[in-house]
Amino acid sequence: SIAIVGSINVDITTRSDRLPQPGETLHGHSYAINLGGKGCNQAVAASKLGGDAKLVGRIGKDGFGDIAAQHLADMGVSTEHVHLDETHGTGIAVIGVDANSENSIIVIGGANLAVDESDLDRSSDVLETAKIMLMQLEIPVETCQSAAKKVRASGGKVIFDPAPAPVHGLPEGFLQNVDVVTPNETETEILTGFRPTNAEEAAHAANLLREQGVAAAVVKLGARGVYFKDGESEGFVEPFKVNAIDTVAAGDCFNGGLAYALAGGKTLAEAVRFAAACGALSTTKHGAATSAPTLAEVEALMGA
């Protein structure tokens, strides 16, 4: 199975002509309530492809927690390991979007920030049986580090998406417990001090990342493509040509696809190409978790 240890949010998105100034009250047009959080998005992406995705995380005992659990269940993600937090509220993101699609976002981490060792203990069977574990940085980094050690001790592989960018750095030796790291340009710069803009520079950045102890570096350059390197292979995957209208969660769909392909025994080169198709397809639809493609859609794009 594919374990995802990560965040669960409810996104509340408002639409208005413009975003309010400090002290201002505006009337908007509409709002939507959706599942969000990188943990959820990546779990849904892997599940929609047909992966056996098990999400480990926390929600609060509140209406938003009920909404999150219902959405996860509707999208085929097991909520057996989504734990109820007695004291913290469910994580939310309040997202304002204006007529030009500019946005401003406030995230309240809530229960996500309390995910700790007790959650890993309660879900130890998930970590011990996972072929692949996906993690990101919307839960405490110490919890990620511990989860990575447990999964590897049981023979599983760890994919780490260093997002949001770890502006205060990672704990000493963190990447030594990771098999595959998948930063975008900004996250690569935070981790290495070097911002890649093309394949050659991404190759240099991948070497810097590998010097930090990670086996495989996958450097995502958004619409410019993606570079990968491990001990045996390296290469650049040109972007798939799609009509991109919304890049929200492209990285999450990429990671869900990467986990699905690696869990299915694909090589890194094959898995990165598959993941790039997933990321590209997600940009053709609005939304985060809801924009993840099906396996048939990915195969159609890859075959074309």
Q: Is 24 exposed, middle or buried (0-12, 13-18, 19+ CB in 10 A)?
A: exposed
Examine the residue annotation and report whether 11 is marked as an active-site residue of this protein.
no
Nearest distance, CB of residue 34 and ligand ADP, angstroms: 17
Q: Which is nearer to ligand ADP, 26 or 245 (CB)?
A: 245
Nearest distance, CB of residue 24 and ligand ADP, angstroms: 31
Nearest distance, CB of residue 20 and ligand ADP, angstroms: 27
Nearest distance, CB of residue 239 and ligand ADP, angstroms: 4
Cα–Cα distance for residue pair 45/256, rounded to 1 Å: 5
Spatial CB neighbours of 139, under 8 Å, sequence gap ≥ 6: 5, 6, 7, 39, 57, 112, 113, 115
**Two structure tokens written together for 233:** 């292979």
End-to-end CA distance of the chain: 29
Cα–Cα distance for residue pair 37/9, rounded to 1 Å: 5
Q: Which is nearer to ligand ADP, 64 or 274 (CB)?
A: 274
Q: Which is nearer to ligand ADP, 128 or 201 (CB)?
A: 201
Return phi, psi of residue 58, to 5°.
-135, 140
Nearest distance, CB of residue 225 and ligand ADP, angstroms: 7
Binding site for ligand ADP (CB under 6 A): 163, 184, 220, 222-223, 226, 239-240, 242, 244, 247, 250-251, 254, 276, 279-280, 283
Nearest distance, CB of residue 221 and ligand ADP, angstroms: 6
* Sheet with strand 91-97: strands edge to edge: 30-36, 9-15, 91-97, 103-108
Determine the angle formed by the axes of helices 295-303 and 268-282, rounding to 10 degrees: 110
Q: Which of 11, 179, 230, 252 is catalytic?
A: 252
The label of the residue with tokens 């790039």 reads 276
For residue 215, count other CB atoms closer than 10 A to its CB: 18
Torsion over CA: 104, 110, 114, 120 (sign)? negative
Q: Which is nearer to ligand ADP, 147 or 248 (CB)?
A: 248
Spatial contact of 252 and 288, defined as CB atoms under 8 Å apart: yes
Spatial contact of 205 and 168, defined as CB atoms under 8 Å apart: no
List beta partners, residue 135: 5, 160
Q: Which is nearer to ligand ADP, 60 or 196 (CB)?
A: 196
Q: Which is nearer to ligand ADP, 89 or 222 (CB)?
A: 222
Cα–Cα distance for residue pair 92/102, rounded to 1 Å: 19
By annotation, the residues acting in catalysis are: 252
